[in-house]
Structure 1
Amino acid sequence: MSRHDADLELALRLADAADAITSARFRAHDLAVERKPDRTPVTDADVAVEDAVRAVLAADRPDDVVMGEERGGTLDAQRVWVLDPIDGTKNFLRGVPVWATLIALVEDGVPVVGVVSSPALGRRWWAAAGGGAFMSDHAGERAISVSGVRALEDAYVSTTDLKSWVEYHTRDAFLRLVDATWESRAFGDFYQHCLVAEGALDLAAECVANPWDIAPFQVLVTEAGGRFTSLAGEERYDGGDVLSSNGHLHDAALKLVGR
């Protein structure tokens, strides 16, 4: 049980509403795509999801603030719902089924509820502060926890795009981590942090990330028993980058890849 159970229930309903929209528009022949100033794509589904979620929140939590990728907002409030209507939009518009809606409730600067829903994968992950972490898939619902791997040489690590390390940090930093671990993959975006939370991966590192890209994972990964920090080692979701881990490997990984 968590004191945020009612907020978690609402977040799960918001995810249901989002899934109905994204599932209907995935692989649609008339999908409308535009390019934002930062050259990232946005589809009509992104906007429709955010608008639908905002409408429910306006009715059910009128005193809360909303901050979304497509419509903007502020994080400077006691209670803020942080939304990414479609994380993995490039996958979504190309027909790759690895994308999700991300929903987080942030209280006093700390994420306390997180929901990640990936209908094309048939998976959903959720957590509330003090209540544990969970997922559902074809096998049903279950509690999840991070892996027990304690040595970097046995670790499985992921990122999104190696080119981003050149632009926003250094390629050498990530390659140092890769060279120290067992295997590396690029599961990318939301999926890698969910896999850390459920114990399938041991580390996921991003050298650039917006608050809406990672807010749910601070509560999801920590409730699953792991650690979630910026590359500077700060326990925050708005530091512009992120390292999520099973906890055992976190400090050793930060020494190699941290700022």
Structure 2
Amino acid sequence: MSQCDGEAGGWKADLALALRLADRADGITLARFRAADLRVDRKPDRTPVTDADTATEDALRAVLAAERPGHAVVGEERGGSVDAGRGWVIDPIDGTKNYSRGVPVWASLIALVSDGDPVVGVVSAPALGRRWWASAGGGAWASDASGGEPRRLAVSGVHELADACLSTTELSSWAERGELDRYLDLVARCWVVRAFGDFWQHMLVAEGAIDVAIDAEANAWDLAAVQLVVTEAGGRFTDLTGADGFTGGSGMSSNGPLHAPSLAVLRG
């Protein structure tokens, strides 16, 4: 993967570390992807976890313990908390259901948070040959396995829901919230609707390929890195109450102009 030469100076060393962590994650996840002996278990919430999930998080934690011993770490598989100061938020494999079934849409998500705000974010999807990253004030960037210079990202300029492309993750999440009718109302107002899901839909918003992406239910490690990439690409990221941030239990990214109209429909 190409690296970034356009990061903000204040976060340059931390972004370089995050990109190296992504390289480490890619090496582990790709080696186990579609492996005949991949071990898949279920966590208490019935979501799957593979031996690659735990091995990746453990490896990243080991690097951080050596290189940033004063930083807290929170990860999907090993827990932890980042309450104040600087800390890392890690999802070793976002899209484990896809990973466990041999579908190549999954990624490792790595974010550095300072006083509650993401300041470095990397989303690495090696089976897709794609990587996205951002630093506070340094813009959002993407590269692919074919090489070439990193590409700076910018969200779309669509201003009307009737012209918008919308994506979500799972309809069952909306049903569980008792808000499926409201989501379907939003669907009816948009031009085209797809279900790219998880990290990918938010990266497509950052690229300007789609306009609105929604996770009705999500955890902090699902959202911290993608929030920064979207906002540094010129978009907006909130939870479904409209509050900025990645800790509200849901996530919505947009190109900006479509954010308030979409939230208004979802609120009924």
- Normalised TM-score (structure 1): 0.98
Q: State the Cα distance separating 1:258 from its structure 2 match.
A: 4.0
- Paired letter, 2:114: E
Q: State the Cα distance separating 1:169 from its structure 2 match.
A: 4.3
Q: State the Cα distance separating 1:110 from its structure 2 match.
A: 0.6
Q: State the Cα distance separating 1:80 from its structure 2 match.
A: 1.3
- Is 2:17 the counterpart of 1:13? no
Aligned-CA RMSD value: 1.0
Q: Which one of 67, 70, 76 corresponds to residue 69 of structure 1?
A: 76
Q: Which one of 251, 258, 262 corresponds to residue 242 of structure 1?
A: 251
Q: Which one of 139, 148, 155 corresponds to residue 146 of structure 1?
A: 155
- Normalised TM-score (structure 2): 0.95
Aligned to 1:257: 266
Aligned to 2:235: 226
Aligned to 2:37: 30
- Cα distance per residue 1:7-44 (max 9 Å; x no partner): 11000000000000000000000001110000000000
In 2: Cα distance, 1:100 partner to 1:171 partner: 27
- Cα distance per residue 1:75-130 (max 9 Å; x no partner): 21311100000000000010000000000011100111110000000000000000
Unaligned runs of 5+ in 1: none
In 1: Cα distance, 2:196 partner to 2:143 partner: 19
Kept in 2, the 8 Å contact 1:87–1:99? The answer is yes
Report SS of the residue matched to 1:57.
helix
Q: State the Cα distance separating 1:173 from its structure 2 match.
A: 1.6
- Is 2:230 the counterpart of 1:209? no
Q: State the Cα distance separating 1:197 from its structure 2 match.
A: 0.3
Q: State the Cα distance separating 1:58 from its structure 2 match.
A: 0.3
- Cα distance per residue 1:211-230 (max 9 Å; x no partner): 00111111110100000001
Kept in 2, the 8 Å contact 1:233–1:258? The answer is no
- Paired letter, 1:105: L
Which structure 2 residues correspond to residues 1-259 of structure 1 after superposition, within 5 A?
Answer: 1-2=7-8, 3-137=10-144, 138=146, 140=148, 141-258=150-267
- Paired letter, 1:220: V
Kept in 2, the 8 Å contact 1:98–1:120? The answer is yes
In 2: Cα distance, 1:251 partner to 1:209 partner: 20
Alignment length, in residue pairs?
A: 259
- Cα distance per residue 1:220-250 (max 9 Å; x no partner): 1010000000111111100001110000111
- Paired letter, 2:77: E
Unaligned runs of 5+ in 2: 1-6
